[in-house]
Amino acid sequence: MIKAVIIEDSRLARKELKELLKDFPQIELLGEAGNAEDALGMIRQLSPELIFLDIHLPGKSGFEILQELDRVPMVIFTTAFDQYALQAFEYNTIDYLLKPIAPERLVQALLKVEGQLAKSKVTLKREKLTVNDRIFVKDGPKCWFVTLNEVRFFESKGNYTQVHFDNNSPLVLRSLQQVEETLDDQQFIRINRQQIVNVRFIADVAEWFSGGLKLTLSTGDTVEVSRRQVYRIKELFSL
């Protein structure tokens, strides 16, 4: 079963989508929300694997909702506007469906979801990489064998991840969540929605705005810790 929620301010659109989803028994609909506040609470509480997300919502846009999440589920955008398609794929977007949703397009989108989940399950079966393991990174014509212990941090760039080591920052075609699933979570900590940091490089921890923290790495890089991840850093450094 694929756990999903619908985030859509139109009651009629929610009803139509639920009717379409009745033909897909693999989708377990956990709930629905009509505004941004309810949506954020529901996603954080229920941890769905998939969200059907409208862009124009009371309170915040669909994009703003995703920006507040530390871990973004798979997203199928459902909207009446086609001009946001390019922006949508900066997130963990599976598909972009225009309303009214055509049943055959929904079939295509859900096949993509199942394919993505199958890849994730294969990844989860692998043993976690250790800090002494080397990874092969290729970016265009350049290639590197990098020991994980030399990677300062990983940074999300849409469906790509940027790997920061030495003076290099190549891109790899894997989402940050896929990268996170292979890493030792005692050595590499997800500090916000976009970054995973190697704790070996943390040189200083300082209080930051709105209850957050700012980390300074031994290389001089600074990164911000989201409020939801502050407890991990405080636990690590006994703050």
Q: Are residues 14 and 97 in the same domain?
A: yes
* 124 pLDDT above the threshold of 70: no
Which of 49-58, 92-101, 124-133, 184-193 bottoms out in mean pLDDT, i.e. has the lowest? Answer: 124-133
pLDDT at 125: 47
User: Can you tell me the mean pLDDT for 31-42?
Assistant: 96
Q: Are residues 119 and 198 in the same domain?
A: no
* 122 pLDDT above the threshold of 60: no
CATH code of residue 221:
2.40.50.1020
The domain boundary, picked from 125, 154, 187, lies at: 125
Q: Are residues 97 and 153 in the same domain?
A: no
* 239 pLDDT above the threshold of 80: no
Query: What digits encode the pLDDT tens for the residues 184-194?
Result: 888 999 999 89
pLDDT at 3: 95
Query: What digits encode the pLDDT tens for the residues 196-211?
Result: 999 999 999 888 877 7
Average of per-residue pLDDT values in the chain: 89
User: Can you tell me the mean pLDDT for 210-228?
Assistant: 88
pLDDT band, very low/low/confident/very high, at 230 (cuts 50, 70, 90):
confident
Residues of the domain holding 16: 2-125
- Report DSSP letters for the chain, one per residue: -EEEEEE-S-HHHHHHHHHHHTT-TTEEEEEEESSHHHHHHHHHHH--SEEEE-SS-SSS-HHHHHHT-SS--EEEEEES-STTHHHHTTSSEEEEEESSPPHHHHHHHHHHHHHHHHHHHHHHHSPPBPTT-EEEEEETTEEEEEEGGGEEEEEEETTEEEEEETTB--EESS-HHHHHTTB-TTTEEE-SSSEEEEGGGEEEEEE-GGG-EEEEETTS-EEEEPGGGHHHHHHHHT-
Q: Are residues 106 and 161 in the same domain?
A: no
Higher pLDDT, 67 or 34: 34
- Record the pTM: 0.59
CATH code of residue 92:
3.40.50.2300
pLDDT at 127: 62
Q: Are residues 32 and 6 in the same domain?
A: yes
